[in-house]
Amino acid sequence: MEATINKVELRNLLIDDYLELKKSMLESYQELEDQYWNKEEIEQLLEVFPEGQLVVLVDDVVVGSALSLIIDEKQAMGAHTYEQITGYSTFSTHNPEGNVLYGIDVFIHPKYRGLRLGRRLYDARKEMCEQLNLKSIVFAGRIPKYSKYADELTPKQYLDKVRMKEIHDPVMSFQMANDFHMVRLMRHYLEGDTSSKEYAVLLEWNNIYYEKDVQLINAKKSVIRLGLIQWQMRPLNDLQEFFDQAEFFINAVSDYESDFAMFPELFIAPLMADYNHLSEADAIRELARYTDSIRKKFQEFAISYNINIITGSMPHLVDGTLYNVGFLCKRDGTYEMYSKIHITPNEVHYWGMKGGSKIQTFDTDCGKIGIMICYDVEFPELSRLLADQGMDILFVPFLTDTQNGYTRVRNCAAARAIENECYVAIAGCVGNLPKVNNMDIQFAQAAVLTPSDFAFPTNGVKAEATPNTEMTLIVDVDVDLLKELHEHGSVRIKKDRRTDLYQTRALNQ
């Protein structure tokens, strides 16, 4: 879509959302006459099962919804129509003691399709199913393209072709991509659904964590998946080619359901080749012209792929002063900027860069994180301040040209993990750029480093990439292990600091 999106939010439905809900539903079901819930029905639904009703908002406007009931498995899997399973819109079939989450509606406004918002609703439904310790998600899916094939294919033949991807059905193809399997065909399910010839397919997603008669005590997510991108420097023809390459990696780590994707420091440098005839200082200032466009595009990627993106870093001009900055593009559509605090002698000499002045952590849907660019990790006071603010994971995008430069970053990152009892993720660029001055060669090995105690690897390395090879590194980190370490570790560095003798504090913050 072309419109700029500033914020995406997924939350429970409120009765005050009704008018926007109705408007989006009418746009979504244009082929079905007067297909919408009236306000009294929504009020009743919220009364019987408020936590089961979800909406997704774009810039505070409801653009999609997923509505559900809890049903007994026998009833959900037995023969029924849409009217029967919803209690003829009274929702009397809702049974808090049931073991199946039954989806009675899901839709996305046509204007906002293509942003994977429907997948976000389905992922939230799956989380709800796990948290409520329900056995499965069940619903009957329409087959809206069947009417075009009804003269030549039976419903079974049509579904077989959809399963083999010979036909793309907008509902069935989406459901199968979301791990739903077909149970059986249902006749006369939804009256008036002429495009489906009133057929529907009973679909099911099984909760592998379901435990009969056991209630989950703590459903809070503790394992965070990190996707680190070891980026190959290569000539690029234009900005679109850069975006294509970046999206390839975002898609790759998103497919593994990563919570974060991190790019390296100054990984946009190949775009500077067009300005190689200029001085280094002028060339990088030309490169800074791309920064706003890149930030906006990465915001779109964060929404579309439902992932938090750490954009490494790029040059940024503010009133004639050049900074080295990056952006945390969150999957809710918002973003925050971070700056490199400590500037290397090389950056000052060739580019005339200046260090930023803001020391901060960032709140995300996976907890509190810190981000420091390359050289910053070599100054222990900075990460100590972030740890005191509650940081669990420190991300360090870097760019080093030699192995000894990399060793400084790597060893200091390992020290920061130990002394601050946190995870530290580092990722850099590899390869060479012979046609970009001051950016000729790179050396890197991405890694996730940990504290050194019994709950962690003995060498303090959770995982590491192959040196100097373009690749991704997918790593799970458990923040609950950090909480245990803080209180019960064999050493407790954060607790045992002698703050009666020494302290670290930020000035002018």
Catalytically annotated residues: 265, 340, 374
User: Number of helices and strands (H, E) in the chain?
Assistant: 15, 22
- Nearest partner of 472 among 232, 186, 227, 297, judged by Cα: 227
Single-letter amino acid code for the residue at 167: I
Query: Which tokens sit at 266?
Result: 């100054």
Q: Is 330 left (phi over 0), alpha (psi -120 to 50) or beta?
A: beta
DSSP assignment, residue 15?
Answer: G
Beta carbons within 10 angstroms of residue 372's beta carbon: 27
Burial of residue 70 (CB within 10 Å: 0-12, 13-18, 19+) is buried
Single-letter amino acid code for the residue at 251: N
401 close to 432: Cβ distance less than 8 angstroms: no
- Taking the CA atoms of residue 297, residue 226, residue 421 and residue 369 in that order, the dihedral angle to the nearest 10 degrees is 20
Query: Which tokens sit at 498?
Result: 């002698």
- Taking the CA atoms of residue 87, residue 89, residue 90 and residue 93 in that order, the dihedral angle to the nearest 10 degrees is 30
- Distance in angstroms (rounded) separating the CA atoms of residues 339 and 143: 51
H/E element, 427: strand 423-427
Query: Which tokens sit at 385?
Result: 């301040």
74 close to 50: Cβ distance less than 8 angstroms: no
Phi, psi of 299 (to 5 degrees): -65, -40
CA angle 159, 160, 165 (to 5 degrees): 95
Burial letters for 393-412: b for 16+ Cβ neighbours within 10 Å, e otherwise?
bbbbbbbbbeeebbebbbeb
262 close to 312: Cβ distance less than 8 angstroms: yes
- Strands 335-339 and 321-329: what pairing? antiparallel
- Distance in angstroms (rounded) separating the CA atoms of residues 182 and 175: 9
